[in-house]
Structures are given as C-alpha cells and as structure tokens.
Amino acid sequence: MAHYFEIKKNKKGEHVAYFKYNNESIFWTEGYSSKAGAKNAIESILKNGPGAEVRDAE
C-alpha cells in the first residue's frame, strides 16, 4: 500500500502519528504523551477526514 499511518516518537519522547505516501511524510499530528493518544488522533482523522470540506483561503 502506498499510503499509511506510522506512529513514532519525536525528540521530546512524544508519540506522533505521521501520514505517509511512498515513505514520504505528508502531514503529522501534534505530539502525544501516550501511543493511545496518537492512535486516537488517527481514528479521528479516518472518521472525520473523508467528509471534510476544502476551503480556499485566497
């Protein structure tokens, strides 16, 4: 699969969820103190993201 989520620890020791496409980070979440927090962020993106509107700020 070309796109996927990956949870890694940052330099502060926080868990961050990265959305990747062909191993390149497209976006990432804030840092969470637990892996469960990062997993909850992924679940929220999967649940709410598909129906999100696109806004042009120009």
DSSP secondary structure, 1-58, as one string = --EEEEEEE-TTS-EEEEEEETTEEEEE---BSSHHHHHHHHHHHHHHSTT-------
Q: What is the pLDDT of residue 47?
A: 93
Q: What is the pLDDT of residue 7?
A: 98
Task: Give pLDDT tens digits for 1-33.
Answer: 689 999 999 999 999 999 999 999 999 999 999
Please return the burial class of 47, using the count of CB atoms within 10 Å of its CB with bins 0-12, 13-18 and 19+.
exposed
Q: What is the pLDDT of residue 8?
A: 97
Spell out the domains of the chain, with CATH numbers in brackets: 3-48 (3.30.160.160)
Task: Give pLDDT tens digits for 28-50.
Answer: 999 999 999 999 999 999 999 88
Measured CA angle at 56 (ends 51, 58), to 5 deg: 170
